[in-house]
């Protein structure tokens, strides 16, 4: 999908269809040219209501405000309607005024591309959108508040971000047998080549040599070899070093603590943290971020079998800590424990991990919200602000001094499962903190994306399935650092 800013009045632009926002039921805006038909079409301009006026080829979408998220969602809604048509080009105006900030323009590009995504790789009949071109008219803003240069830049950034989110969605949506750890490694190598990144892929031998026994244990029941993936973006004169770590469980059956059938369905999405890391790494260079970024992924499959790790096993992680396995379904934290130790070897200034870590996080926050954990309140706040500015929902899940006690083991340094039924998202975060060195505690944040990463229904700009959660908030957070 291509965007073009045209210095022309909207009526002078030729396109198959025009998209018009009706903001806060205000039918007086000069771009609302068909209000006489609204009554007949029963269009009341309630938020998210849409109406197509066929003989005028105008699609009206009602939005509650000119806030960036409303615009993003409205554009996604528009493209969902238009992709069912044979329209190939769309035109849209910009709404002038103080509130029409650069973010709103970025949201137009994001909304159209995110809403246009369909996972139809396995459909014999494809339903691909024919919309290829979106013309944006400069009428109304006309240099008043935002320069043409800024508008073009915002459209470009929006496109880059949304393409990265779609890339992440594609990774997470792949069925488990088509995205094994080895295949994920290959996808990372391809991405590295295309984006001029360094790429290191390690297997079992490297992990054995480096004492990453927690990660190794999780993979033992699978016939698919594990992969530790390390992508590096190193611009000249990098201001800071950032490590992003992703949980890449290509399938989570639960292992010997087997999941019940209904919970196992969708567990192909347990690689969404890895997908987010790949999505971010796919654009760090295009966005010219002035940081050294390390993308680290622990890719493994959690399966049953004669060689599978067991409840009662005791594992020694890379930092020497011993872990009593009480539940093999709490596998993500074991993989991340070793990956976080590995990430700290590169002395990063910040370490963020992305993981579909707990069902408890979904219970706590609902399926649309990322759980943000860590010791550094300022860092958490910055991440949450970046999330909301980029159109993602997040909430703080606070640590406290009582919860760590729930991870005590009688026979090892720590247990991989809490002794309480409550607060499971936070105790999982606290488990990870056991593998963060004292001097790095304030540099680290843990993002539990178990809720929003994969939802079996359409929501906002997201389709059924993988949403690409984490990508936009991570990039926004990084951009705000510079």
Site for ligand BES in 60-99 (CB under 6 A): none
**Which CB, 90 or 357, lies closer to ligand BES?**
357
**Which CB, 154 or 270, lies closer to ligand BES?**
270
Q: Which stretch binds ligand BES (CB under 6 A): 108-116, 118-126, 166-174, 350-358?
A: 350-358
Q: Nearest distance from residue 260's CB to ligand BES, in Å?
A: 11
359 binds, among ligand BES, Zn ion, none (CB under 5 to 8 A by kind): ligand BES
DSSP strand pairing (89-92 vs 198-202) = unpaired
Q: x/- contact string, 264-303, with ligand BES (CB under 6 A)?
A: ------x---------------------------------
Q: Nearest distance from residue 211's CB to ligand BES, in Å?
A: 23
The β-bridge partners of 393 are 369
Q: Nearest distance from residue 208's CB to ligand BES, in Å?
A: 23
CA of 81: how far to CAs of 60, 237, 433, in Å? 11, 46, 45
The reply to whether 9 belongs to the active site is no
Strand spans (E) along 253-318: 291-302, 314-316
Cα gap 164→171, rounded to integer Å: 11
Cα gap 71→296, rounded to integer Å: 34
Phi, psi of 373 (to 5 degrees): -130, 155
Cα gap 28→397, rounded to integer Å: 44
**Which CB, 134 or 256, lies closer to ligand BES?**
256
358 binds, among Zn ion, ligand BES, none (CB under 5 to 8 A by kind): ligand BES
Q: Which residue is nearest to ligand BES (CB)?
A: 359
Which of 329, 338, 353, 392 forms a contact with ligand BES (CB under 6 A)?
329
467 binds, among ligand BES, Zn ion, none (CB under 5 to 8 A by kind): none
Phi, psi of 155 (to 5 degrees): -65, -40
DSSP-derived secondary structure letter, 160:
H
Sheet holding 414-415, edge to edge: 314-316, 322-324, 414-415
Does residue 450 touch ligand BES according to CB under 6 A? yes
Residue tagged active-site, from 333, 380, 472, 476: 333
Cα gap 136→9, rounded to integer Å: 10
The gap from C-alpha 267 to its chain's centroid, in whole angstroms, comes to: 16
Q: Nearest distance from residue 271's CB to Zn ion, in Å?
A: 9
Q: Which stretch binds ligand BES (CB under 6 A): 22-30, 236-244, 327-335, 375-383?
A: 327-335
Cα gap 322→316, rounded to integer Å: 4
Q: Nearest distance from residue 186's CB to ligand BES, in Å?
A: 23
Residues assigned a catalytic role: 259, 333
């Amino acid at each position: 999908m291509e965007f073009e800013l045209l210095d022309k009045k909207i009526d002078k632009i030729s396109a198959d269809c025009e998209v018009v926002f009706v903001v806060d039921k205000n039918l007086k805006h000069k771009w609302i040219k068909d209000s006489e038909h609204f009554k007949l079409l029963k269009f009341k301009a309630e938020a998210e209501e849409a109406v197509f006026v066929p003989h005028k080829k105008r699609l009206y979408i009602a939005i509650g405000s000119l806030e960036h998220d409303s615009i993003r969602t409205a554009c996604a809604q528009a493209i969902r309607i238009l992709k069912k048509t044979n329209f190939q080009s769309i035109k849209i105006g910009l709404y002038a005024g103080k509130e029409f900030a650069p973010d709103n323009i970025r949201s137009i590009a994001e909304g159209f591309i995110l809403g246009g995504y369909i996972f139809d790789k396995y459909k014999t009949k494809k339903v691909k959108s024919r919309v290829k071109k979106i013309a944006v008219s400069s009428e109304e803003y006309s240099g008043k508040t935002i320069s043409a240069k800024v508008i073009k830049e915002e459209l470009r950034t929006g496109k880059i971000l949304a393409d990265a989110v779609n890339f992440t969605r594609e990774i997470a949506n792949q069925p488990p047998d088509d995205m094994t750890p080895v295949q994920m490694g290959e996808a990372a190598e391809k991405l590295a080549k295309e984006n001029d990144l360094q790429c290191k892929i390690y297997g079992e031998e490297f992990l054995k040599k480096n004492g990453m026994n927690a990660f190794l244990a999780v993979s033992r029941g699978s016939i698919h070899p594990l992969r530790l993936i390390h992508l590096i973006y190193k611009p000249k004169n990098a201001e800071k070093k950032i490590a992003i770590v992703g949980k890449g469980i290509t399938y989570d059956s639960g292992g010997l603590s087997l999941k019940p059938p209904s919970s196992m369905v969708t567990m192909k999405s347990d690689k969404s943290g890895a997908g987010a890391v790949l999505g971010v790494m796919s654009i760090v260079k295009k966005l010219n971020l002035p940081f050294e970024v390390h993308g680290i992924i622990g890719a493994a499959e959690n399966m049953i079998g004669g060689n599978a790790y067991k409840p009662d096993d005791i594992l020694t992680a890379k930092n020497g800590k011993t872990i009593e396995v009480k539940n093999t379904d709490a596998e993500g934290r074991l993989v991340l424990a070793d990956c976080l130790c590995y990430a700290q070897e590169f002395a990063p200034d910040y370490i963020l991990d992305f993981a579909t870590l707990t069902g408890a996080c979904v219970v706590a926050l609902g399926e649309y919200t990322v759980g943000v954990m860590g010791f550094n309140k300022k860092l958490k706040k910055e991440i949450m602000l970046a999330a909301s500015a980029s159109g993602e929902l997040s909430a703080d899940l606070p640590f406290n001094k009582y919860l760590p006690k729930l991870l005590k083991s009688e026979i090892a340094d720590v247990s991989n499962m809490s002794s309480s039924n409550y607060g499971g998202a936070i105790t999982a975060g606290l488990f990870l903190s056991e593998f963060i060195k004292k001097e790095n505690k304030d540099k680290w944040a843990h993002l539990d994306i178990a809720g929003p990463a994969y939802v079996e229904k359409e929501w906002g700009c997201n389709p059924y399935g993988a949403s690409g959660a984490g990508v936009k908030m991570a990039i926004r957070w990084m951009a705000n650092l510079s």
